Amino acid sequence: ADITNAMIENAKDTKNVLSFGMGTQGQRYSTLTQINTKTVGQLVPAWSFSFGGEKQRGQESQPIIANGKMFVTASYSRIYAIDLKTGNKLWKYEHRLPEAIMPCCDVVNRGAAVYGNLVIFGTLDAQLVALDQNTGKIVWKEKVDDYAAGYSMTAAPLIAKGVLITGVSGGEFGIVGRVEGRNPLTGELLWSRPTVEGHMGYKYDKDGKATDAGVTGTVNKSWPGELWKTGGASTWMGGTYDPATGLAYFGTGNPAPWNSHLRPGDNLYSSSTLALDPTTGQIKWAYQSTPNDSWDFDGANEFVTFDMNGKRYGGKADRNGFFYVIDAKTGQLQNAFPFVNKITWASSIDLKTGRPNFIAANRPSDPTKGDGKKGSTVFAAPAFLGAKNQMPMAYSPQTGLFYVPANEWGMEIWNEPITYKKGGAYLGAGFTIKPLNEDYIGALRAVDPKTGKIVWENKNSAPLWGGVMTTAGGLVFYGTPEGFLKAVDAKSGKELWKFQTGSGVVAPPVTWEDGGVQYVAVVSGWGGAVPLWGGEVAKKVNFLEQGGSVWVFKLATKI
Ligand SMILES: O=C(O)c1cc(C(=O)O)c2c(n1)C(=O)C(=O)c1cc(C(=O)O)[nH]c1-2
Secondary structure letter of residue 418 according to DSSP: -
Distance (Å, whole) CA 188 – CA 180: 11
Answer yes or no: are the C-beta atoms of 487 and 8 closer than 8 Å: no
Query: In this predicted structure, what is the pLDDT of residue 370?
Result: 84
Residue closest by Cα to atom 1 of ligand 1: 171
Establish whether residue 552 lines the binding site of ligand 1, counting it when its CB lies within 6 angstroms of any ligand atom.
no
Query: In this predicted structure, what is the pLDDT of residue 116?
Result: 98
- 555 CA to middle of ligand 1, Å? 36
- 37 CA to middle of ligand 1, Å? 35
- 45 CA to middle of ligand 1, Å? 31
Report pLDDT digits (tens) over 281-295: 999 999 999 999 999
Closest atom of ligand 1 to CA, residue 172: 1
Residue ranges of the chain with pLDDT lower than 70? 206, 218-219, 558-559
Active site residues: 296
Establish whether residue 59 lines the binding site of ligand 1, counting it when its CB lies within 6 angstroms of any ligand atom.
no
Establish whether residue 242 lines the binding site of ligand 1, counting it when its CB lies within 6 angstroms of any ligand atom.
no
Report pLDDT digits (tens) over 175-224: 999 999 999 999 999 999 999 999 988 888 767 777 788 887 756 789 99
Pocket test for ligand 1, best of 61, 104, 121, 124 (most atoms within 8 A of CB): 104
Give the global pTM.
0.98
Establish whether residue 212 lines the binding site of ligand 1, counting it when its CB lies within 6 angstroms of any ligand atom.
no
SS3 state of residue 286: strand
Establish whether residue 104 lines the binding site of ligand 1, counting it when its CB lies within 6 angstroms of any ligand atom.
yes
Neighbouring residues of 223: CB distance < 8 A, sequence distance ≥ 6: 196, 197, 198, 231, 263, 265, 267, 268
Report pLDDT digits (tens) over 315-352: 999 999 999 999 999 999 999 999 999 999 999 999 99
- Decide if the complex's ipTM is over 0.95: yes
Query: In this predicted structure, what is the pLDDT of residue 11?
Result: 86
DSSP 60-85: -PPPEEETTEEEEEETTTEEEEEETT
Answer yes or no: are the C-beta atoms of 496 and 487 closer than 8 Å: yes
Distance (Å, whole) CA 147 – CA 150: 5
Neighbouring residues of 306: CB distance < 8 A, sequence distance ≥ 6: 25, 27, 312, 313, 314, 315, 395, 397, 449
Report pLDDT digits (tens) over 469-526: 999 999 999 999 999 999 999 999 999 999 999 999 999 999 999 999 999 999 999 9
Establish whether residue 106 lines the binding site of ligand 1, counting it when its CB lies within 6 angstroms of any ligand atom.
yes
Distance (Å, whole) CA 259 – CA 138: 42
